[in-house]
Amino acid sequence: MVKENLLIVENRIEEACKRRGRDRSEVTLIAVSKTKPADMIREAYQSGIRDFGENKVQEICDKYEQLPDDIRWHMIGHLQRNKVKQVIDKAVLIHSVDSVRLAEQIEEEAAKKGICVDILLEVNVADEESKFGFRLEETEQAIRDISVFPHISIKGLMTIAPFVENSEQNRPVFKELNQFYVDMQRKNIDNVNMNMLSMGMTGDYEIAIEEGATLVRVGTGIFGTRYKIGENEV
């Protein structure tokens, strides 16, 4: 099933690229494997996927041990400061930096390990109360504040668009973040070299690609529905 789903997703990504005259190589598909077992991840791996997204530190650590070394793990969920230490040398990219304090913690732990950590700043474009992330108006200042940290490299921006019935409703959100991203690139802030825009999930990745996404995070469309444990969607 994973293999078949991947063919469908791949085809849709190619079509979305074509519609905007983009090269397929400009977009990386991240298979969001949170809550899914190692066997399903192996199936995606066998189809050629190397980028996987997880939203819990413990889960990345467990899967990191069990699965092939050349997998690139992406941390896409809210990150607590006390878990930074465990994840920074396992994830290739942290998409979900949502406060300067969190960045400070990453800086401190990265310095101890002598590594440089690639991050994206999460932006709450639609200003939803239930969501983490910087408000768009505060993002430039956050970029400037974080850019001075020697063990962090800001690679771009990430957003989780609102849950909507019709994915077209999210087009303005993606457009707005892309506009801001281009503005930030033009400002040439010291130590900031932004070339990644992480936006689009199962419901709206084609639209996100049309609006400039370079990383799309697709879970359900590849691995099927996630089951609910208790009241919380996991």
55, 105, 167, 178: residue in contact with ligand PLP (rule CB under 6 A): 55
**Residue 218 found at the interface with ligand PLP (CB under 6 A):** yes
Cα-based distances in Å from 208 to 20, 161, 216, 220: 11, 10, 8, 16
Provide the b/e sequence for 189-198 (b: ≥16 CB within 10 Å): eeebebebbb
CB of 140 to ligand PLP, least distance (A): 22
CB nearer to ligand PLP: give 110 or 218: 218
For residue 87, the tally of other CB atoms under 10 A from its CB is 23
SS3 54: strand
DSSP β-ladder status, 232-233 and 228-229: antiparallel
Per-residue mark of binding to ligand PLP, 118-147 (x: CB under 6 A): ------------------------------
SS3 94: strand
Choices 61-69, 125-133, 165-173, 211-219; region in contact with ligand PLP by CB under 6 A: 211-219
SS3 110: helix
Q: What is the DSSP string of 8-65?
A: HHHHHHHHHHHHTT--GGG-EEEEE-TT--HHHHHHHHHTT--EEEES-HHHHHHHHH
Tell me the number of residues near ligand PLP by CB under 6 A: 14
CB of 30 to ligand PLP, least distance (A): 8
**Residue 156 found at the interface with ligand PLP (CB under 6 A):** no
CB nearer to ligand PLP: give 77 or 180: 77
**Residue 219 found at the interface with ligand PLP (CB under 6 A):** yes
Choices 136-144, 163-171, 188-196, 201-209; region in contact with ligand PLP by CB under 6 A: 201-209
**Residue 56 found at the interface with ligand PLP (CB under 6 A):** no
Name the token pair of 114.
């002598």
Residues that bind ligand PLP (CB under 6 A): 32, 34, 55, 76-77, 160, 201-203, 217-221
